[in-house]
Amino acid sequence: MSKYQSRLNVEQLVAIDVHTHANISTRAPRDPCSVIFDEAMAKYFKSAVPPTIPEVAQYYRERKIAAVIFPVDCEAEMGHTRIANEEVAEVSAEHADVLIPFASIDPAKGRMGAREARRLIEDYGVRGFKFHPSQQGFYPNDRKAYVLYEAIAAAGLPALFHTGQTGIGAGLLIQVTSCPDRVDLAEMAYLPIDAQLWLTKQVANCRAQQVGKVQGTGNCTMKIEYDRQGHASQKEGKQRRQKV
């Protein structure tokens, strides 16, 4: 075990990337579930299979950029085996001229998670923690996460939270018992249109419909259906007579 000690030469760096994922372990076999998600994300983002941590280090070193790197512990919510925080910290220690290790601990682990955080700080020298609420299945203000926050705050370290859209699961089919081959959002009016469009991009068999009256046409309606690429198709509905 080698404790991380930064060797960054800030004067020679042109930038610091504060959001870099450790997706591929060089010590443990890949989780088949993670492989499926990685391949789907690569297709969605039109990118290659994720690099290993040493490959990330070399990529950034060549560009004179440092990188904060972390795994995402979403074992409880998604059932994926995480890349060990210890591996991220130890490999970062080997590439301390460009890498800054953050850890990720599922808030569902409660007090055991807080114990792990303290151990990673004291024994491995991690410099912060990453949270991904949508992948980890929690809200940032959930009380169950506070014991972990307190351990991080006691060490004076930062916590990095993912917000907004995520490419995780993009392009994968979902299972809906009552409708196995299609998911429509026509009845989900409580969702803002941008949220509905996001879902159409994330789920391969999902479509969103917006229906409303066309101005100046009485009761003639126009239905707009958005597909996964965000393309809209318009269908003019029949004009209906109002009952008197």
pLDDT digit string (tens) for 94-117?
999 999 999 999 999 999 999 999
**What pLDDT is attached to residue 166?**
64
Q: Tell me what pLDDT residue 162 has.
A: 87
pLDDT value for 96 = 98
How many other C-beta atoms are found inside a 10 Å radius of the C-beta of residue 12?
A: 9
Nearest-angstrom CA–CA distance, 122 and 154:
12
Residues of each domain in the chain carrying CATH 3.20.20.140: 10-161
Q: Cα separation of 124 and 104, whole Å? A: 13
Between 53-62 and 85-94, two packed helices, what is the crossing angle to 10 degrees?
40
Q: Which residue has the tokens 């930038």?
A: 15
Task: Enumerate residues 6+ apart whose C-beta is below 8 A from 60.
Answer: 17, 20, 66, 67, 98, 99
In which residue ranges of the chain is pLDDT below 50? 173-190, 211-224, 226, 228, 230, 232, 234-244
Rounded-to-integer distance, Cα 170 and Cα 187, Å: 22
Measured over the CA atoms of residue 169, residue 173, residue 177 and residue 183, the dihedral's sign is: positive
Q: Amino acid identity, residue 77?
A: E
11, 64, 106 from 15: Cα distances, Å: 10, 7, 29
Per-residue pLDDT at 237: 43
pLDDT at position 45:
73
Topology of domain 10-161 in CATH is: TIM Barrel (3.20.20)
